[in-house]
Amino acid sequence: MKKITIAAFCATASLLAAAAAFAQRPADLAPTEKVWVAAPTPKGGVSWKVLESTREIQRTENGVIFSKPDFPAAVKELAGKKIKVNGYIMPLQTSAMQSHFVLLAYPPDCPFHLSPAPTQFMEIRVSSPVDVTNEGEVRTIEGTLVLGGADESGIFYQIVEGREI
């Protein structure tokens, strides 16, 4: 009987603690739906919808997934051209100013987008380092689009000679 009483007490205490935490949260707290929407297309820029139209071809070898792109005509036409794209910066080093980083289509604050598909990010190299401390802000990057991934690296898009605008 003593074990049942202790278990009941623990369960009740857990429920009360959860209820107290829920009651203390701000009244206007609501889940944001922005995590399900790609960064908006900059004026005169390329949308993530176009980039996400690339089909990913996967194969598995010894438990490792290899991925390469099947670019549609609309994406192939952009190869080697200067483009603008909006996105969310994910730093690759610990410094505040970086010239090599990843640009994500979706905000990095969602646990369901921690591992984006190869069509949802691009590797960026800029001429002048960019301040990456405000990761949650939409940023616009302009540069030359390089189509990759033929080596099955999983990196389909790169911007070289880029700059933040």
* E strand residue ranges, 92-133: 97-104, 121-131
**What's the pTM?**
0.76
Helix (H) or strand (E) holding 149: none
| pLDDT tens by residue, the chain, 165 residues | 544 444 444 443 333 333 334 344 444 544 455 567 899 999 999 999 999 999 999 999 999 999 999 999 999 999 999 999 999 999 999 999 999 999 999 987 656 556 689 999 999 999 999 999 887 899 999 999 999 999 998 899 999 999 999
The candidate with the shortest Cα–Cα distance to 145, out of 70, 85, 55, is 85
The number of domains in the chain is 1
Position 68 in a domain: yes
**50 contacts 81 by C-beta, under 8 angstroms:** no
Q: Is residue 29 part of a domain?
A: no
Domain assignment present for 160:
yes
Can you give the pLDDT at residue 107?
85
Residue 81, in any domain of the structure = yes
Q: Which of 118, 126, 122 is nearest to 102 (CA)?
A: 122
In a domain, 16, yes or no: no
Chain CA centroid to CA 18, Å: 31
Query: What is the pLDDT, as a whole number, of residue 73?
Result: 98
Asked if residue 79 belongs to a domain, the reply is yes
Residue 129 maps to a domain: yes
Q: Residue 3 domain-assigned?
A: no
| φ and ψ of 131, to 5 deg | -75, 120
Alpha helices in the chain (DSSP H): 2-24, 48-51, 73-76
- What pLDDT shows up at residue 15? 36
Residue 99, CA atoms < 13 Å, CB-side half-sphere: 6
CATH number, domain of 157, equals: 2.40.50.140
Q: What is the pLDDT of residue 132?
A: 92
Q: The domain containing residue 124 runs over which residues?
A: 35-164
